[in-house]
A = this chain, B = another copy of it.
Amino acid sequence: MNTPLKDVAPEKRGRKQSKEVRRLQLIEATIDSLARRGYAETTMADVADGAGLSRGIVNFHFESKEKLLVATLQHMYDEYSAHWRSACNRAGDDPARQMAALVAADFDRAVCNRRKLAAWCAFWGEAKSRPTYQALCGARDAAYQNLFVELCRALKEDGAYGFDAQAMALALSAMLEGLWLRLMMGTEDVTRESALVAANEFLAAVFPRHYVRGAGVPEGKAIRIA
């Protein structure tokens, strides 16, 4: 017997890892292509070239172009989900801090940069006509939305506000997504910083007893935001 792995490893870790690394490499190249050329112009050849590999390689690691794109979208979805969950956890138990953390996380360099935003938008454009994309395309998914509703409810009770929690959560998360869209288009002089300022203006206006504007001095237990 020439059993190659007999004395090295029961699980062929080297192989598997290499395979996963290559998949990631191709996914990154796909994001590049989507950002640079858009969904319609993204070709298998462009992805392979971007990764510095040969033409047929993508069909080996992913079965088809369709599956490559789904894997890419899934990758971005997982990354975004992990990002906001982590930000929320790090904020502790105070709903006001959690909300501020979620908003700030949305404009963090790690997830909010031209490359990723452009890739997101490329998928958005195709989502309506592709059920497979649709589920993954709301990076702000049902779980995210529910969290926002809960936070709005908690803040409303604590601050005795008059709004409807569900409607306000919708308005808030829609604004975050709209700001992403503006950042991506990049026509106006909207930056990550000015977008975050706008979002914080919103928080200060809607939850005046929980947030105060950057320059001001925090009163009571209100949080100062940039």
| Interface residue ranges, A against B (CB under 8 Å) | 35-41, 118, 121-130, 134-135, 137-138, 142, 145, 161-164, 167-168, 170-171, 173-179, 181-182, 184-188, 190, 194-195, 197-199, 201-202, 204-206, 213
Contacts and interface: CB of A to CB of B under 8 A. Distances in A.
Contacts of A178: 173-179, 181
Interface of A is mostly: helix
How many monomers of this chain does the complex have? 2
Contact of A171 (B127, B134, B181, B202): B202
Contact of A40 (B39, B162, B186): B39
Contact of A137 (B176, B185, B197): B185
A177 to B, nearest CB: 4
A127 to B, nearest CB: 6
A198 B167 contact: yes
